[in-house]
Amino acid sequence: MAKTVAFTNAKPPSNLHSHRTTSQTHTVSFLNLNNLSFVSCSLTLRHKHKQPNWAKPPLLRSKSGLGLGPVEPLEMAAQGWNGTALLVLDMQKDFIEGPIAVKGGKEIVPNVIKAVQVARERGILIVWVVRENDPLGRDVELFRRHYYAGGQVGPASKGSPGAELVEGLVIREGDYKLVKTRFSAFFATHLHSLLQGAGINNLVITGVQTPNCVRQTVFDAVALDYQPVTVIVDATAAATPEIHLANVFDMKNIGVATPTLQEWIDFKA
C-alpha cells in the first residue's frame, strides 16, 4: 500500500541544495524496496543565492593610440606559453611584394620576424598559414579565378616563387605549415584538430590582411572558444591604416586582445 508522509522541519536531502534565495516547494518521490511502499514528501526549502561579482578588467592603452583590449587575456596567455600558438598568415611574396600585394604588408615584415623570434624563445608553436593554390585556380574563390585564366600564373600558385615566404621568414624544424584555400585558417583545414591535439588554447595572430584572412581566422577562433585570442596590431596590416584600425576595433569588441608587438613582448610567463 502506498503511504504519503509529510515532513515538518526535516533536513532536506543533500541533492536538493541550490543557490537561489527564493523559497521553493520540492516534491520528492522514492520507492522503499523493503515494503514496496511508495513515499512522497513535500519540502519547503530556502536556498542561498550568491550573485557573481565580476571584476571589470582594466584597459591597457597603447602609446600608439590604438586603444587596446583588456589586459586579462594577455596575462592569461603569459601564464602558459606552452599552451599558445603563433599563427603567421599569408606572409608570402605575392601578398607582400607581388601584383596583389597588401599595401601595408612590407612595413610589418620586421615585426613579424621579431614576433617569430620571440615565439621561438618562449617555446610557442609556430603555425605558418599559407596559400598554395592549384595552378589552374580550381580551388580559389570565384572572384579570383580570372588571375589563373589563359595560362597565367595566379597568386600563390603551388610551386611558384610568389608562394614562397618573404625574405627573413623561415620555417624551421618543429614549426608547422598549414595550407589553406580560403580567408580563414580554420575553413576546410585540420587546424582546429591540430591545435586541440597539441593542447593549444591561446592564439596569437600576425600577418595579412586584417579585413580578410586575419579577421576571418580570429572570428572563427572566438567561435571555437579559443581564449585568449591576441592580434598583434603592428604585426598585422591592411591596404590602409583606416581599414586596419576599423577591423581591429571590431575584433577588440568581441574580446580579442590587441597589443602592440612591444606590449606583447613585455608580458613574461
In sequence order, the β-bridge partners of residue 231 are 205
Q: Render pLDDT for 59-96 as a digit per residue (tens, 0 to 9).
A: 333 444 444 444 455 665 555 698 999 999 999 999 99
Residue 103 is among the residues annotated as catalytic for this protein = no
Residue 234 is among the residues annotated as catalytic for this protein = no
Q: Distance between CA 258 and CA 74 in Å, rounded?
A: 9
Residue with the bigger pLDDT between 111 and 2: it is 111
Are 181 and 131 in contact, with CB atoms under 8 Å apart? yes
Q: Mapping DSSP to helix (H, G, I), strand (E, B) and coil, where does residue 55 land?
A: coil
Q: Distance between CA 92 and CA 101 in Å, rounded?
A: 9
Q: How many CB atoms lie within 10 A of CB 25?
A: 8
Residue 180 is among the residues annotated as catalytic for this protein = yes
Q: Render pLDDT for 141-198 as a digit per residue (tens, 0 to 9).
A: 888 888 889 888 888 899 999 999 999 999 999 999 999 999 999 999 999 999 999 9
Phi-psi region of 108 (alpha: psi -120 to 50; beta: other; left: phi over 0): alpha
Q: Which of 180, 220, 234, 252 is catalytic?
A: 180
Residues in the chain, overall count? 269
Q: With 50 as the cut, is the pLDDT of residue 11 above it?
A: no
Residue with the bigger pLDDT between 25 and 134: it is 134
Q: How confident is the model at residue 224 (pLDDT cuts 50, 70, 90)?
A: very high
Per-residue pLDDT, averaged over 97-117, amounts to 96
Say what the pTM is.
0.72
Q: Which of 93, 114, 213, 252 is catalytic?
A: 213
Q: Return the axis-axis angle of helices 241-252 and 215-223, rounded to nearest 10°.
A: 0
Q: Distance between CA 146 and CA 152 in Å, rounded?
A: 9
Q: Who contacts 19 (Cβ-Cβ below 8 Å, separation ≥6)?
A: 47, 48, 49, 50
Q: Which of 90, 94, 220, 234 is catalytic?
A: 90
Q: With 60 as the cut, is the pLDDT of residue 247 above it?
A: yes
